[in-house]
A and B are shown apart, each in its own frame.
Chain A
């Protein structure tokens, strides 16, 4: 049996001082697997990604999350990241004046330091990043710009994938990575995900549409509705959703 990456048990969560969004969610992901979570607006998809990554405006009220033998709930957001959990943001943030390359190296070295490994000097890091850039068909002037500042929607998403490749996480949560992408950008993003994917790691895609799944084929598809997973299946379930809509499935 392959290594377990994450085990979410009876997860209940809400916005701090707000409404309950997740109402008993169960999900187990093993190494080598690609999972897709689909669901209508308001079903709790984004809440799930924020809970997993440790957003301070969300809180867990019940249940447990085991991340590679560690209690994820007790970990700060940066600790989760350094332990190998990466979330690609639906709306990546712009940070003025912060050089993209310097930021990437800082993030990379934070993880190296956390893991007790050697930090990369600028030259070593340049080599490492050139290789990833070519994978995504990105030009290196991308690195000289400020972090996401003035980036197009497609460039922001590509930058998320570049960060993912540099940080080489154990589990990737892709929060609507396909939203706002044209076909070329979608292909580049998918190529990045497929290049990253290996037997030792796992992907959780959160998406509205079947579109992305044409390029990145999931092993499991789950339908989220009313804060719970109401149906699971293989990739054919996504096609069913496309045809029938969520209402029928959730009913």
Chain B
């Protein structure tokens, strides 16, 4: 019996050896005509983007100063990621489906695009209304369909593409864009500021609970194009909104860059719930192709008693670099971060959050679940910072990692900076392995290996999934199983 552990190690490695063979079911590309700029980045390209979108002067200025900042920056290299050199002159910065991009009704949308969304399981048609979800769909660089705009507008809610907001509500955009993530913030956000092509804008007026889940689906279609969307959500006093984004891309054998910026502003007693199901193409089992997902997401809890929750399920992308954060400025404000990051094959993820406590009695909660399979690398990186003014600040952090097989790595990098005596900061971390014994136990109860892995994973992720809006929790569970499909021989 003494050599049993060794034997177990070996067989369980065999068991997970073929974990890499799962396929990406959103990997098709749609054959539509697009208007694309030639590859390359220059002031001229930026001016052209701004001109094609008929933007007011302030927007062009914002783009140009972002570009200036970008030129003086270098790629960040502090993350535990192995990022191949990116040639920023070899990227298409603007690609749009031909025909007029802004649609009043779905009848005007290219049927090929609608078919694409149907294949993705996202019928944009009216049926979504029955489910209580309003959808904005971003195809490559532009918004192609936005549903329920009228109904929402009746109660003063603005939900539209950012391009449209820049034209229709320039005062709001001007006031808030760059107010949470300034143009000088970091390399990728500066790039985004220069070339962002579309995204979503949401404004919830005071004393309004948004009656629908708002949702955006991002799709990169054109080969060689980057996607740089910008999302801005402002929730005014005593209001509430729940927002969900989903992301997919075709399977190309070259890498594509996705550098988005998301800014959230929460006013007094307001609450923003922001959920992401990120399933960009991850590359093949040898690490060829896939999306570079370099995203800056930040919320400012500006008003007292405001609250922002980030919930993310990150299963796609070749490389993920992403730290949805909260600046807890208002007294008693609350920041939450719930994350599941699953990496498989050659995927790399360095993701986590920053909670910056500035106001008094501010509270933050961080629950991070990392799952690594194949030869992937999965890191949690999080900062909890308590400034001297933040009396009575509290943080609770829990980071759990699960390893499937033995050829991958999980890392946890917690940074805690506390400047003040009354703060209470707790950190718990664990690393576990799906054991062959657990799998065998479930199998002995008649559950097949794949379902057994799914069950163990969904149990592991339960604390995060329960934060997702109802129907998406089930979807997330399915997605996890899909990602690990055919994983066991």
Chain A residues with a Cβ under 8 A of chain B: 15-18, 42, 53-57, 76-78, 80-82, 86-87, 89, 92-93, 95-98, 103, 106-107, 110-111, 114, 146-147, 163, 167
> What is the CA–CA distance of A42 and B444 in the complex, to the nearest angstrom?
23
CB-defined interface of B415-444 with A at 8 Å, one 1/0 digit per residue? 000000000000000000001111011111
Among A55, A78, A86, A97, the residue within 8 A (CB) of B447 is A78
Contact of B451 among A17, A18, A106 (CB under 8 A): A106
List chain A residues, Cβ under 8 A from B445. 81, 103, 107, 110, 163, 167
CA of A77 to CA of B439, assembled, Å:
10
Q: Indicate if B15 sits at the interface (CB-CB under 8 A).
A: yes
Asked if B11 and A97 sit within 8 Å, CB to CB, the answer is no
Q: How far is the CB of B441 from chain A (nearest CB, A)?
A: 4
A146 with B437: in contact, given A17-B7, A81-B444 (CB under 8 Å)?
Answer: no
Are A56 and B444 in contact, with the CB atoms below 8 A? Answer: no
Instruction: Report the minimum CB–CB distance from A53 to chain B (whole Å).
Output: 5
A110-B448 contact, Cβ under 8 Å, with A93-B438, A96-B459: yes
Interface string of B432-475 (1 = CB under 8 A from A): 00011110111111111101000110111111000000000000
- Asked if B447 contacts A95 (CB within 8 A), the reply is no
Interchain residue pairs A-B with the least CB separation, the first 10: A97-B459, A98-B459, A110-B446, A97-B462, A107-B445, A81-B446, A77-B443, A93-B441, A82-B446, A78-B443
Are A78's CB and B455's CB within 8 A?
no
Q: Mark contacts of B1-25 with chain A using CB atoms, 8 A cut-off: 1 yes-contact digit, 0 otherwise.
A: 1011001101100010000000000
Q: Once the chains are docked, how many angstroms separate the CA of A162 from the CA of B442?
A: 15
Asked if B446 and A56 make an inter-chain contact with CB atoms under 8 angstroms apart, the answer reads: no
* Contact of B440 (CB < 8 Å), options: A55, A96, A114, A167: A55
Given A15-B7, A17-B10: 12 more A-B contacts, CB < 8 Å: A15-B4, A53-B444, A76-B443, A80-B444, A81-B443, A81-B444, A95-B456, A95-B459, A96-B459, A97-B462, A106-B455, A146-B459
Max count, chain B CB within 10 A of own CB: residue among A77, A80, A107, A111: A77
B459 cross-chain contacts in A, Cβ below 8 A: 95-98, 146-147
Asked whether A78 lies within 8 Å of B449 as measured between CB atoms, the reply is: yes
For chain B, which range describes its interface: under 10, 10 to 19, 20 to 34, or 35 or more residues?
A: 20 to 34
Contacts of A76 in B (CB 8 A): 443, 448
- Of the candidates B4, B7, B455, the one whose C-beta lies within 8 Å of that of A98 is B455
CA distance A244 to B462 in the complex (A): 53
Chain A residues lying within 8 Å of B444, measured Cβ to Cβ, are: 53-54, 77-78, 80-81, 86-87, 89
6 contacts between A and B (CB under 8 A): A16-B10, A77-B443, A78-B447, A97-B460, A98-B458, A110-B447
Nearest residue, chain B, Cβ from A112: B446
Which chain A positions have C-beta within 8 A of B460?
96-97
- Of listed A56, A80, A167, residue having the most chain B CB within 10 A: A56
CB-based contact A107/B438 at 8 Å: no
In the assembled complex, how far is the CB of residue B12 from the closest CB belonging to chain A, in whole angstroms? 8
Q: Tell me if B11 and A16 are in contact (CB < 8 A).
A: yes
List B contacts of A77 (CB < 8 A): 440, 443-444
Alpha-carbon distance between A9 and B443 when the two chains are bound, in angstroms: 25
Tell me, rounded to whole Å, the shortest Cβ–Cβ distance linking A185 to chain B. Answer: 20
- CA A163 – CA B444 in complex, angstroms? 11
Does A56 lie within 8 Å of B461, measured CB to CB?
no
Whole-angstrom distance from the CB of A60 to the nearest CB of chain B? 15
Q: Give A111 to B444 CA distance when docked, in angstroms.
A: 11
Instruction: With A57-B436, A78-B447, A103-B455 as known contacts, state yes or no: A89 contacts B11, CB within 8 Å.
Output: no
Known contacts being A15-B7, A81-B446, A111-B446, is A98 close to B441, with CB within 8 Å?
no
Distance between Cα atoms of A87 and B445 in the complex (Å): 8
Q: Are A107 and B446 closer than 8 Å at their CB atoms?
A: yes
Partner of A167, one of B7, B446, B451, B461: B446
Interchain CA distance A97-B480 in the complex, whole Å: 15
A77 vs B55: C-alpha distance when bound (angstroms)? 64
Our pick among B436, B451, B455, B463 for the contact of A95 (Cβ within 8 Å) is B455
Q: Give bound CA distance, A77 to B28, whole Å.
A: 37
- In the complex, which residues of chain B have a beta carbon less than 8 angstroms from the beta carbon of A106? 447, 451, 455
**A87 / chain B contacts, CB cutoff of 8 Å:** 444
Contacts of A81 in B (CB 8 A): 443-446
Distance, CA A78 to CA B441, complexed state (A): 10
Taken together as a complex, chains A and B put the C-alpha atoms of A89 and B462 apart, in Å, by: 26
Kindly list chain B residues whose C-beta atoms are within 8 Å of the C-beta of A78.
443-444, 446-449
Q: Give the docked Cα–Cα distance between A86 and B441 (Å).
A: 11
- Cα separation A78 to B447 with both chains bound (whole Å): 6
The residues of B that contact A97 with a CB separation of less than 8 Å are 458-463
Beta-carbon nearest neighbor of A82 in chain B? B446
CB distance from B466 to the nearest CB of A (A): 10
